[in-house]
Every structure is written in structure tokens, then in C-alpha cells.
């Protein structure tokens, strides 16, 4: 399956220490109504590191059920244990997800051969479309373009979410193979699409799904002037969403806009007051109305 366009890396709404299931279902339906092209539950933005396995699975189930097959659901199933990644990916398949997003194994720092074998093992174990996730700022290891090219030969590894922050990395990948690239950084969506990326897995679209979709749609419709205008308007908010560790700013934004609560689990904690002021200014400057 191909995953193209504007895809939202969903937050996981929490309330009183538990998953707010009603809020999650509502957010899924709002995203689809706004024209988003796909949804990624329980990725980094969905706070997967602090969810139990049962909670992780429940978020996938809720998202799949609420989406009603109207858009693809790409479940986050990455782990630094290959066996655990296989188990989570099997569950995603069983739950009806259309794909699985697997971050590069973190902390144990596998070699490039280890990365290849990790993804190869998951792909062979589960017949589901797999999206690699390169985010060396969190995983410490970079999936090299050469490793991506090797993995591209495995039929059900269909794309990579590229969040290295490097334009050269995407250029190198696309010079070596025809793997679909999705931007993993909102501020780089337009530049990476100009290089050949097929869209974005976005944090900002939790707040502005219609506008992120407009940027991507305008580019692929050939209206590059419009795409640039939308990019420039969104850019200050793209930066504000990462003024502290994701998803702290985006969840605070959603609370301020009345979309859901902004509860977090330690070790994530509420924004520092000075940074919150910067975030609020960026939201207001864009023209958004603060509700809480």
C-alpha cells in the first residue's frame, strides 16, 4: 500500500491518568473531516514510550474503528527489541491497521547490519505495509541511505519517514532507490517534496489539519506559489511546536484551542511559562482563538 499526502501523527489524549477514549475518537473524526490523508497513532507524538502494551493496543483499536477505513491508519509499532516490534506489528495487523511505522531501535545502538536485520525480521514476520522511521535525534542511530536502499528491495517495506533534518539524506536516499519518502519535520515538508518526497507525517496537523493538507495538495497540484505561501504562513507555528520536546507544545496548543486536555505522563511535564508565552503568541499571530 502507498502512503502519500498529509498524514497526522496523532496525540494520545489523556485525562485523569487514563486514555481519553471519547476525545481520541472525536479527534480522529475531526481529522478526517478536515481532509487529512492518513493517521499515525502511538508514534512519538502519541507518547508511545509511556503507554503500557494494553494501552498501546487500545489506541490502535480506537483509531482504526473511528477511522472506518476512510483513510489509512499506520500504527506506531517500533521498539528497540525486535521481538517486541514483531508482537506490536502483529497486533496492528490483527486490529485492522493499514500499515506500521517503526522507529529505528533506540538506546542499544545497532549497527547498519543490525538495523537491516531488525526491519527484515519484522517485514518477514508480518504481512503489512511497513514505514521505516529515521529519527536519529531520538534513536541515536541514523538509518543510512545505503541501508534504506537495501530495505527497499523487501516488498512490504514501502516508505520511510525521514526526520534526520538533513536535506542531503533525502537526496541520497532518492538517488539510490525509489523508496517513498515522507517528511518527518513540518518545517521541511515543502523542501523535501521539492526533492521528491510524497508528503509528511505531521505534528502540526493535529492543530491545523486542513492547512497542512492544503500545503501538500497545492504542491502536488502544481500550484507551487500557493504551496510556498502556505508554508511561509505555517512556518512560525512549525517552529513553535518544537520549542520544547514533542508532544508537549502540540498538546498544550490543543488544550488552548479546546480540542482536548493536555495531560502528559512523566518524564514529560508541562511547558515552562516563558516558552508557553512564545507558543501562545505564535498561535494568536496565526489567527487562532485561544479558548483556555
Q: What's the pLDDT score for residue 287?
A: 95
DSSP reduced 3-state for 279 = helix
Indicate the pTM of the whole model: 0.96
Check: CB of residue 134 under 8 Å from CB of residue 104: yes
pLDDT at 35 over 80: yes
What mean pLDDT is predicted for residues 127-156?
A: 97
User: What's domain 5-222's superfamily in CATH?
Assistant: Aldolase class I (3.20.20.70)
Quick: pLDDT tens for 78-90.
Answer: 999 999 999 999 9
Q: What's the pLDDT score for residue 292?
A: 58
Q: What's the pLDDT score for residue 1?
A: 83
Q: Mean pLDDT, the chain, as a whole number? A: 97
Burial class (CB within 10 angstroms; exposed 0-12, middle 13-18, buried 19+) of 24: buried
pLDDT at 242 over 80: yes
Check: CB of residue 67 under 8 Å from CB of residue 39: yes
Contacts of 245 (CB under 8 A, 6+ apart): 268
The band of 24, judged by pLDDT with boundaries at 50, 70 and 90, is: very high
Can you list the positions of beta strands (E) in 32-171? 38-40, 74-76, 99-103, 129-134, 157-162
Q: What's the pLDDT score for residue 112?
A: 98
What mean pLDDT is predicted for residues 16-45?
A: 97
**Rounded CA gap, 59 and 76, in Å?**
10
Domain ranges in the chain? 5-222
**Rounded CA gap, 279 and 236, in Å?**
10
**Rounded CA gap, 55 and 189, in Å?**
31
List the catalytic residues: 133, 161
What mean pLDDT is predicted for residues 266-271?
A: 96
Q: What's the pLDDT score for residue 226?
A: 98
Quick: pLDDT tens for 244-256.
Answer: 999 999 999 999 9
Amino acid at each position: 500500500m502507498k502512503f502519500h499526502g498529509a498524514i497526522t501523527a496523532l496525540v494520545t489524549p489523556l485525562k485523569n491518568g487514563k486514555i481519553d477514549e471519547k476525545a481520541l475518537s472525536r479527534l480522529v473524526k475531526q481529522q478526517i473531516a478536515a481532509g487529512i490523508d492518513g493517521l499515525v497513532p502511538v508514534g512519538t507524538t502519541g507518547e508511545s514510550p509511556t503507554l503500557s502494551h494494553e494501552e498501546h493496543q487500545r489506541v490502535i483499536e480506537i483509531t482504526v474503528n473511528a477511522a472506518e477505513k476512510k483513510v489509512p491508519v499506520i500504527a506506531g509499532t517500533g521498539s528497540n527489541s525486535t521481538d517486541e516490534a514483531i508482537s506490536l506489528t502483529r497486533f496492528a495487523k490483527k486490529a485492522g491497521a493499514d500499515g506500521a511505522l517503526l522507529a529505528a531501535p533506540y538506546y542499544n545502538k545497532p549497527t547498519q547490519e543490525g538495523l537491516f536485520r531488525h526491519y527484515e525480521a519484522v517485514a518477514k514476520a508480518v504481512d503489512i505495509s511497513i514505514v521505516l522511521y529515521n529519527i536519529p535525534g531520538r534513536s541515536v542511530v541514523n538509518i543510512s541511505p545505503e541501508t534504506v536502499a537495501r530495505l527497499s528491495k523487501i516488498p512490504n517495506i514501502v516508505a520511510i519517514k525521514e526526520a534526520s533534518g538533513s536535506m542531503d539524506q533525502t537526496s541520497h536516499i532518492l538517488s539510490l532507490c525509489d523508496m517513498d519518502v515522507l517528511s518527518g519535520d513540518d518545517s521541511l515538508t515543502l523542501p523535501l517534496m521539492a526533492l521528491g518526497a510524497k508528503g509528511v507525517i505531521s505534528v502540526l496537523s493535529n492543530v491545523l489539519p486542513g492547512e497542512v493538507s492544503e500545503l501538500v495538495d497545492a504542491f502536488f497540484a502544481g500550484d507551487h506559489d500557493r504551496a510556498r505561501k502556505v508554508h511561509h504562513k505555517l512556518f512560525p507555528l512549525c517552529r513553535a511546536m518544537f520549542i520544547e520536546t514533542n508532544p508537549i507544545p502540540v498538546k498544550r496548543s490543543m488544550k488552548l484551542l479546546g480540542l482536548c486536555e493536555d495531560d502528559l505522563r512523566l518524564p514529560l511535564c508541562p511547558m515552562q511559562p516563558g516558552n508557553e508565552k512564545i507558543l501562545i503568541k505564535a498561535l494568536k499571530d496565526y489567527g487562532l482563538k485561544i479558548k483556555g
